[in-house]
Every structure is written in structure tokens, then in C-alpha cells.
Amino acid sequence: MEVAGEPIRVQSIAQEDRKVEVVPPEYIQPPENRPSKLGNMNATDHKIPMIDLGGDRDVKLLCEEIRRACTDWGAFHVANHGVPVPLLDEIRNVGSSFFEELPMAEKLRYSCDSNSPASEGYGSRMLVASDDAVLDWRDYFDHHTFPLSRRHLSRWPHFPPNYREVVAEYSDQMKLLAEKVLGLISTSLGLSSSFIEEAMGELYQNITISYYPICPQPELTLGLQSHSDMGFITLLIQDNVAGLQVSKDGEWVTVDPVSHAILVILGDQTEIITNGIYKSAQHRAITNANSARLSVATFHDPAKTMPVSPAFKPPRYRQVVYGDYVSSWYTKGPNGKRNIDALLI
């Protein structure tokens, strides 16, 4: 399926003119990884927590809610987060215009370097190394957004015309919210509110817009295989098509889309720094036979040279230089496993 060394985009398999009725074998998950049941698996008592950040809430109560959500789930929705709600719609709109209105040949002009992990641009496969790995039913556009020296708007889509402006504004807003949430997470553990922000050092931010084309056999595929995010926190929004699932007590729980809310997902570095009091959330995306789905994930990471270690004693995780953690992740792949367990003492 490789064209001139360039991995094929899922959308070109799924789109109308070449529509397939069965997924190509490289997208078929082994039985143990297939979504067991399609549709909404939420039991009413199994809903991801919603935390209201608005107004002048009592910080102590707010931190108790954060603590419970971080302990029980490693992920939670926030409402009244301070990010202008129209901006959430704007980025979903420019993202879907890029994926759905721009011809494939135009999109391919923005291709990422498929030989280098996490390179900026339009791509489909997350991992470079593994030839035999099952492929995700997903295309994406990855943007490097912070520090500002990494932000090259000229490499981002020129269509729709407001694309670059919207992504830049969204990036600034996500940084503010990430700092606010990391402050609350620090406070909720009795640390100074700037503790995690200071431990993180210079903030590295990437924004990935993921597009999950309609899939003829959702029961055999995954949009994105099970993984935890590597950095500190991910802020994610989705459109109104469900598909994101978070693992809770060994069960996959679908995160109902809430258009004005933002999902906070704890990453592995937060698990390390909190000494495992808070766990990173395992999550995945399932596919869908009726509608394509779009999400926007904003990752907040330390510099590659930054060592990260537990803030509490006795440490349960070895110190790790973030860049080494990332390299081993890209070599092994998520593979449904918790890479972070390799650091457990």
C-alpha cells in the first residue's frame, strides 16, 4: 500500500470514488484488540467527570473534585474553562474543511516526513519503525505550536483562508488553560500551584487534528490504538461523533461528545511527577460506519532534555529524560501496554 515510500492516507481508501467494502488487511486488529461492542458503552454511573472551572469557585472544593477525577479516571471534562466557545467551533470547522474540502493532491503537499517521528504536517501512521504493526484508521495534521520558535505558520494549510489564524489563536488559548489545569493539579496534591509548570520548564506544545474517515468494518478496526499520552496533559475536543474511549477499571468507556467542554487527559509525565498518585489515562478511538469523526488534541510536554522525576518520597518511578522516554515510545509503539511501567522501581 506504499506509494513512492509515502504511506497511503486512510481517506483515500475510504473516500467515495474508491470506496471499499472491506478494510485492507493491514488495518485489521487482532481479535483481542477489536472493539467488543459498538455504540455507546456508558452505564449511567460510568460517565467521565465534568468539572466546572467557572466563576469564583471555592478552590478547596474544586481541588477535591480534581483529585477525585485524577485518581478515578486520569481524565475529565472541564466546562467554563475560559476558552471562547466559538473558537472551539472554528478550529473544528477549519479542520473539517481541510480534510473534507481540499483534494487529496493538495493535502499531500503538506505531508509530514514519514521517516521522522512527530514531524509536522499531514500524515497517517504514527510509528516509523514497525512494518508489521496494525495501522490506525486515521489521518492527521500535526502542528508544532510552542515554543514560538517552532511555530512556522507557512507550513500549515492555506485552506480554508483562516486556518492558520484559528490554529494560532487556539494554541495560545490551550496554553493558558493547560497552565490553569496544571496549577489546580499541583494544588490538589498540596504542592505549590506553579510546581508542575516549573518542573516542566519550557512548554512544548503540539496540536494534532485527527480525521477518522468512515470505516466499512468498525468492528475489526481502531481509529487509534490503545495508548497513554507521553507528556504532561492533553486537552482534547471532538466533534459530535462519539469514538473516544477511556479505560476505567478494565472497561472501555465512551466519552460522550460535549461541544462546549474540553477533555483533560493526564499523560505519563504527570503520573511520574505525582509518583503515581495520579495515573495517566489509557485511551483509544474506535471507528464508525456512518460518519467521519474529527478531534483536536493539544499536547503539553517538557523539552526533550528535561529530566522528570517524582515529587514525593519514596519515589516509585525512576527519573527519566523526556527525550529518552519519547524515543523508546516511538521504537516500541504503544501496543496496548503501559510504557511507563518500565520506569517503576
Binding site for ligand OGA (CB under 6 A): 208, 210, 224, 229, 238, 243-244, 283, 285, 295, 297
By rule CB under 5 A, what count of residues binds Ni ion? 1
Using an 8 Å Cβ cutoff, are 235 and 219 in contact? no
Name the 3-class secondary structure at 266: strand
Q: What is the 3-state secondary structure (H, E, C) of 19-44?
A: CCCCCCHHHCCCHHHCCCCCCCCCCC
Name the 3-class secondary structure at 340: helix
Binding site partner of 288, from Ni ion, ligand OGA, none, Cβ cut-off 5-8 A by kind: none
Question: Which lies closer to ligand OGA via its Cβ, residue 224 or residue 311?
Answer: 224
Question: Which lies closer to ligand OGA via its Cβ, residue 3 or residue 289?
Answer: 289
Confirm or reject binding of residue 65 to Ni ion (CB under 5 A). no
- How far apart are alpha carbons 97 and 141 in whole angstroms? 13
- Among residues 65, 142, 229, 271, the one that binds Ni ion under rule CB under 5 A: 229
Question: Which lies closer to Ni ion via its Cβ, residue 187 or residue 288?
Answer: 288
Using an 8 Å Cβ cutoff, are 200 and 302 in contact? yes
Interacting residues of 327 by C-beta distance below 8 A, sequence separation 6+: none
The distance of closest approach from Cβ of residue 269 to Ni ion in the complex, given in angstroms and rounded to an integer, is: 14
The distance of closest approach from Cβ of residue 117 to ligand OGA in the complex, given in angstroms and rounded to an integer, is: 14
Phi first, then psi: what are they for 52, rounded to 5°? -90, 115
Confirm or reject binding of residue 271 to Ni ion (CB under 5 A). no
Binding site partner of 126, from Ni ion, ligand OGA, none, Cβ cut-off 5-8 A by kind: none
Confirm or reject binding of residue 301 to Ni ion (CB under 5 A). no
Question: Which lies closer to Ni ion via its Cβ, residue 74 or residue 218?
Answer: 74
Interacting residues of 41 by C-beta distance below 8 A, sequence separation 6+: 245, 251, 252, 253, 254
- All cell numbers assigned to 138: 486515521
- How far apart are alpha carbons 67 and 64 in whole angstroms? 5
Question: Which lies closer to ligand OGA via its Cβ, residue 186 or residue 238?
Answer: 238
Confirm or reject binding of residue 120 to Ni ion (CB under 5 A). no
Question: Which lies closer to ligand OGA via its Cβ, residue 139 or residue 229?
Answer: 229
The distance of closest approach from Cβ of residue 187 to ligand OGA in the complex, given in angstroms and rounded to an integer, is: 26
Binding site for Ni ion (CB under 5 A): 229
